[in-house]
Amino acid sequence: MDSAVGSCNACGATGTALMKLSLGKDFFGRAYDRLSPSTDQSPKWYCEGCSMQKNLQRDFRDILGEFDKLTAGQGSTLSSQEEFQRASLRLREITAILAGAAGHAPLLTAADVSQLIGRMQTTTMQA
């Protein structure tokens, strides 16, 4: 398969090395089947910068999804103090990485991440 003729599914970059992403496990260690090579019906291709951000975006979405469940009073992985801490640290890490990728962030904005960090801090104070 010649990936060089395609374009990045996130930013549309062409003429650069593209890689097919197979994400394996999500942030909480659960199987993440959608992009696994054998079951993925519509593989996506990303340039180097976007493939890195795709992983950040996946972690961000996982954490956001679990946090929404937590605030809704549903069972959430984040009800574990340890997981909550780990997720908070990961969000800070993502913020730092995004700050270093200024100008090339088609998938995830630092503002979204900051907002989630803020919401999580508020929750911690109420607990």
- Residues near Zn ion (CB under 5 A) are 8, 10-11, 13, 47, 50
Closer residue to Zn ion, CB minimum distance, 54 or 113: 54
Q: Determine contact, residues 14/7, Cβ cutoff 8 Å.
A: yes
Identify the bridge partners of residue 45 per DSSP, sorted by sequence position: 20
Nearest approach in angstroms of CB 55 to Zn ion is 13
CA distance 125 to 113: 19
Nearest approach in angstroms of CB 59 to Zn ion is 18
Closer residue to Zn ion, CB minimum distance, 16 or 95: 16
Closer residue to Zn ion, CB minimum distance, 105 or 120: 105
Strands 18-20 and 45-47: antiparallel
Please name the residues in contact with 96: beta carbons below 8 A apart, sequence gap of 6 or more.
none
Q: Residue 20: enclosing H or E segment and its boundaries?
A: strand 18-20
Nearest approach in angstroms of CB 44 to Zn ion is 11
Nearest approach in angstroms of CB 77 to Zn ion is 30
CA distance 76 to 84: 10
Closer residue to Zn ion, CB minimum distance, 3 or 115: 3
